[in-house]
Amino acid sequence: MRLPIEGLARALQAYLRHRKHPVCGAILSWACLPSAVVTQLLLLSFVAFASDAMAQDAQCVRERAAMVETIRDYARFEAGVLGPQGISERVLEAMGQTERHRFIPERSCSVAYMDAPVMIGQGQTISQPFIVALMTHLAAVKFDDTVLEVGTGSGYQAAVLARLVRKVCTVEIIPQLAEAAAKVLRELGYDNVSVKVGDGYQGWPECGPFDAMIVTAALEHVPPPLIEQLKVGGRLVMPLGPVGAPQQLTVIEKIAPSETRVRPIILVAFVPFTRSQN
């Protein structure tokens, strides 16, 4: 049961009207209340707050479960690309466990779990859940992998990856986003994620080499430093194409030290890849 806070204030006012304190009169003041009354009111306020929080958590769980089912449905439409098995159950489980609403400014469950991009500030977006799941699936990550993400954004993609691999190294060129993402990831206990402010075009050599990479912004070519830092047998998943037009979500597999295999997947629309001006 949800307890209205305004009802507590009305009860307090009524109490004071009937208890004419020689100093306070009918003025609403905590200092004039007996300690037992203050304790009860604080307890009721805490219960009301906890009740609201539990109700929101329950809503988020329902919305998140519905999001996972939407991803399953979308995967069926892409059976020609993904095969009849669709998105792997391991990835879907990670999506179902990751609290996407913690990574958007509004923290609204109804907004967070819609299958749509969400603005996160600084002209950037958090990708729609299906695309996050698809890119994670295409990266074919394993439990003991070290993964590079270029374009941390809100930290959501890194959080999903963190549930699936040993270590995530994520690079963000916009300091405000990197700092906010690092804070949320730290608060939520993702201690296997490292966040760096920098130009992701150069990768993160000190953190690699990498078993897989995910790039969350569009570029017309594959950055050579990323291929250099990718292990043989590893996969790089990124949108390739011009800004302002549909790009091709692409899997680049490193099949030998100086040889890659490229596989286009589906058309997508990503924000442009931002480079350092230095």
Asked if residue 223 has a cis previous peptide bond (ω within 30° of 0), the answer is: no
Burial tier of 110 (Cβ tally within 10 Å: 0-12, 13-18, 19+): exposed
Interstrand relation of 193-197 and 167-172 (parallel, antiparallel or unpaired): parallel
Listed in sequence order, the DSSP H helices in 83-139 are 89-97, 109-112, 129-139
Annotated catalytic residue 127: yes
DSSP string covering 43-91: HHHHHHHHHHHHHHHHHHHHHHHHHHHHHHHHHHHTHHHH-TT-S-HHH
Active-site annotation holder among 35, 51, 88, 127:
127
Active site residues: 127
